Amino acid sequence: MFNAITHSQIYVLDQDEALDFYVGKLGLEVAADIDMGFMRWLAVSVPGHPERQILLEKPGAPAMSEETAQQVRDLVTKGAMGGWLILTTEDCRGTYEKLLAKGVEFTEEPTERPYGIDCGLRDPFGNRIRFTQPKA
């Protein structure tokens, strides 16, 4: 029935800050940045892979009242909103060192797992991100 997962979303509190982080630090690329009037459709992807995009959505109107948006922001910043990503890399430790030098906030250092080496970090808003170097 279906062919692919093309878009997922996570909530960000500020889209410019999100760009700085996801593109400027993590090295993803902008897949779409469109002013739709009622919202800014901002999506990123791994460079060269626009077939899988992450929408960086700012909670608010028209989908939500300011009160609801506030609840969402509250949960995001507590790390409890549930938005998260897992990326793959060819070099977990090297990427970790590079991102650490850029001031990325890690929650877990590269660790050996049955499936490879992975580590954990947070985006500026509280979302969880992990990246894995799969076992060869």
Partner 1 sequence: MMALGVVALWCDGAVSRAVEETNRRMLRARDAMDRAYAQPLDVPALARIAHVSEAHFTRTFRATFGETPHRYLQRRRVERAMFLLRETDRSVTDICFEVGFGSLGTFSRTFRDIVGRSPREYRKETTASGVPTCFVMA
- Cα 89 to Cα 53, 56, 96, 116, 128: the distances in Å are 17, 21, 10, 11, 16
Q: Is 70 in the site for partner 1 (CB under 8 A)?
A: yes
What is the nearest approach in angstroms of partner 1 to the Cβ of residue 131?
A: 11
Which residues ranging from 91 to 120 are in contact with partner 1 (CB under 8 A)?
Answer: 105, 107-108, 111, 113-115, 118, 120
Q: Is 74 in the site for partner 1 (CB under 8 A)?
A: yes
Which residues ranging from 24 to 53 are in contact with partner 1 (CB under 8 A)?
Answer: none
What is the nearest approach in angstroms of partner 1 to the Cβ of residue 106?
A: 9
**Surface-to-core class of residue 77, CB atoms within 10 Å of its CB (0-12 exposed, 13-18 middle, 19+ buried):** middle
Residue 13 C-alpha from the chain's centroid:
12
**Cis amide bond preceding 62, omega within 30:** yes
83 and 125 Cβ atoms separated by less than 8 Å: no
Cα 120 to Cα 132: distance, rounded to the nearest angstrom:
9
What is the nearest approach in angstroms of partner 1 to the Cβ of residue 108?
A: 7
List the one residue from 128, 131, 133, 134 that touches partner 1 (CB under 8 A): 128
3-state secondary structure of 5: coil
Q: Is 57 in the site for partner 1 (CB under 8 A)?
A: no
Which residues are at the interface with partner 1 (CB under 8 A)?
A: 13, 66, 70, 73-74, 76-79, 84, 86, 105, 107-108, 111, 113-115, 118, 120, 122, 125-126, 128, 130
